[in-house]
Amino acid sequence: MTKMMKVELQGFRTQTVVFCLGFASALVMTMATAAVAQRLPGTENGEWRYLGGDAGHTRSSPLNQINATNFADLEVAWIWKSDNFGPNLDYFSRSTPIYADGMLFTVATPRRQVVAIDPDTGETLWVFREPETVRYLRSPRRSYGKGVAYAEVNGRGVIYITTPAFFLWALDAKTGRPLEGWGSPVPLDDFSQNGVVDLVPLLLEGWGQWERWDEGPYDADYGVPRELGMVTASAPPIVVNGVVVVLVGHQASYGQTRIENIPGDIMGFDAETGEFLWKFHIIPRPGEFGHETWENDAWQWSGDMSSWAPASADPELGLVYIVTNASTVQSYAGHRPGHNLFGGTLLALDVQTGERRWHFQIHHSDQWNYDLPTPPMLMDLTVDGELIPAVIQNTKQGLVFAFNRETGEPIWPIEERPVIQTQVPGNYTAPTQPYPTLPEPVDPIITDGLTEEFVIDYTPELNAQAQILLSQYRIGGLYVPPLPFEHDNDFINNVGCIGGGNIIPHPPVADPSTGMMYVSHRRGCSASGFMEPTGGVDVDNPNYAVPGDGGATPNSTPTTGTTVVAWSPGSGGGLPTIDGLRLWKPMDNQLTAFQMNTGRRNWSVPVGETPERIRNHPLLAGVDVPNTGGVGWSIQMVMGDLLVQTRALSQGAAQYVPDAPLELHARDKRTGEILASVELPAPGQYGMMTYMHEGKHYIVVQIGSFRTNYPGALVAYALP
């Protein structure tokens, strides 16, 4: 028996639905959940307006013209190469294009040139390049620009970009020209007098170290005086409700020995005029919330606190969500005791005022390079029958935190658990660290460390040898501090394990329509390196560059810092192997799906095949080794009913030797099963996106490898 019923859902059109009476209540619940749990803006009408697709950075799109039935028919529509735009010494690109108002926009090469691309042909339509400055040459993170921001202002599309030299530009989306009457003139000969804001003076304003500076006036060509620190940008700004929110980058903390730097304060600007609106002090000053977490007056000179990862936003709530890293010198915190707000923190700021609405510090006083690497992901969840506007934060450790994004209340309890304390003289470690009870960690090894359950046991002999070796170490969890190089413990070193890995280049994705989240991860255990006293001499070398960052910086000389970290990483550390076999059961490339409505794992599959060095190892002859996954990382996005996925190039390795063909896969997003595949011309990089242009559906994958002659390229696929 059936009956016609009208179901009215708040905020939605009345729908007439045919119900089978026996299943009516269940269907009403299912429909209500699907209807109310809506996507945040960004992917309407086939667009991809944000770096992560929508404002919630889920990297998902409802487009389904390309689906499981025709995916195998995809053909290469065009390939766009960035190496024609200047030297690209960093083959690993992190800039995912956006698609808005009928055009693609991205950045290219360490110059971070803004490029507009025809979405149908791949033709370059216009290019914007900032004039060269000394501060650009000194920028520590030129190669890691993640893209641009887009907004419509008075009916005109505008592209916003924060450059390595730390200027904010507003460009006409159709022409690439700086906006007339926007921003304020920069006193440099080659600069446009429109469409730009010099961010450095605004960042320096009110900062005590700059206020006391008496070595000369501000130099727009040079930027921050070298003796005070350095600043740059990695993530693009985000535009929310007419406000451009600018994020900040610095030299990586693991490369520092100086303990002073400029704080990475977050700033807001009027999207229409470029007028400065507000600044949020990332290191609280006297009288501000969290100031007491900076002991030893460290707030006066400690700095950094970058926002490396892109931001996300909820325009309806008027909130922008930002994650931060630790302050200067991540390996030692004796100079900055305390929990150090707002380091290692998920922040929710009022986009109109810059005021803190709520925050959660995900790790206290970071000394492990556990900076929060991926944007907060926003989607609505139904937990125990209650609809919750959620924000989900993944971590390098492999922990997953989930909050009500309006109030900051944890969706499931979070416990402060005791952790191993430092033995380095003068250092500081927080007595506890937060662990969520749900969602589950991406790898169960995270909870207790390298316990017997995870020790290699492919043969009894291997297990026995591994147990003997591990008995000489102290097994800890995530927050294992390094020891002094000379110590009198009855064990060699501390051992800790993580399950997420550096997920900057392989960000998680989510499906707002189902509440699913997909995470790429790998297992890693280590005995951290030892610490040694510095001797009190610090030469802060501006030529320092991380691998792949474009090499040494010209036109600058090493400068002696004014303050020096007492201890810095020395030599030694590391775990032994058994003839090259690790002491733990490897999990090198895993893709796991979580049902975030429950916080539980749904399925998990290895990506790629176990490397030959393991499969054909003499000690494993005749042993059926479980698939550990292959080299690289898994990168993916959600598109309709598919999880579109490939393997990414391993950062730091220009050579890529795959154990399987280079392919782009269509996976069933419910099971992970590969349904169809097409060939890729080069390994993937970082991400992908999708859009509908003039009725035709495209997928764009970031690819690149010197070996395949595609450094930093984009390949677009479409149906014949």
Q: What radius of gyration do the chain's Cα atoms show?
A: 25
Above 80 in pLDDT, residue 143? no
**In this structure, which amino acid lies at residue 638?**
V
Please tell me the distance from the alpha carbon of residue 130 to that of residue 638, in angstroms, as a whole number.
35
Q: How many residues does the chain have?
A: 720
Farthest CA pair distance, the chain: 87
Around Cβ 720, how many Cβ atoms within 10 Å? Answer: 7
**In this structure, which amino acid lies at residue 61?**
S
Please tell me the distance from the alpha carbon of residue 116 to that of residue 126, in angstroms, as a whole number.
5
What is the residue-averaged pLDDT of the chain?
87
Full set of structural domains in the chain with CATH: 2-36 (no CATH), 44-718 (2.140.10.10)
Tell me, letter by letter, the H, E, C secondary structure of 254-318. HHCCECCCCECCEEEEECCCCCEEEEECCCCCCCCCCHHHCHHHHHHCCCECCCCCCCEEECCCC
Structure tokens at 86: 């200047």
Q: Is 21 left (phi over 0), alpha (psi -120 to 50) or beta?
A: alpha
Task: Provide the percentage of residues in the chain whose pLDDT is more than 70.
Answer: 87
Read off the pLDDT band of 82 (50, 70, 90).
Answer: confident
Answer for the pair 650, 610: CB distance below 8 angstroms, yes or no: no
Cβ neighbours of residue 554 under 8 Å, at least 6 residues apart?
Answer: 137
Structure tokens at 269: 């600007």
Span 105-117, pLDDT tens digits: 999 888 889 999 9
Cβ-in-10-Å burial (0-12, 13-18, 19+) of 190 comes to exposed
Span 544-566, pLDDT tens digits: 333 333 333 333 333 444 568 88
Above 50 in pLDDT, residue 81? yes
Read off the pLDDT band of 656 (50, 70, 90).
Answer: low
Span 84-106, pLDDT tens digits: 777 655 555 678 999 999 999 99
List Cα–Cα distances, 690 to 65, 104, 325, 710, in angstroms: 11, 11, 30, 20
**In this structure, which amino acid lies at residue 189?**
D
Structure tokens at 64: 């389904």
Determine the average pLDDT of the residues in 265-291. Answer: 97
41 cis-preceded (ω within 30 degrees of 0) = no
Answer with the residue of higher pLDDT: 657 or 445.
445
CA nearest neighbour of 356 among 443, 272, 279: 279
Span 489-521, pLDDT tens digits: 999 999 999 888 666 778 899 999 999 999 999
Please tell me the distance from the alpha carbon of residue 546 to that of residue 108, in angstroms, as a whole number.
19
Determine the average pLDDT of the residues in 424-443. Answer: 96
CA nearest neighbour of 516 among 589, 434, 604: 604
Answer for the pair 81, 91: CB distance below 8 angstroms, yes or no: no
Structure tokens at 544: 């320092």
Cβ-in-10-Å burial (0-12, 13-18, 19+) of 268 comes to buried
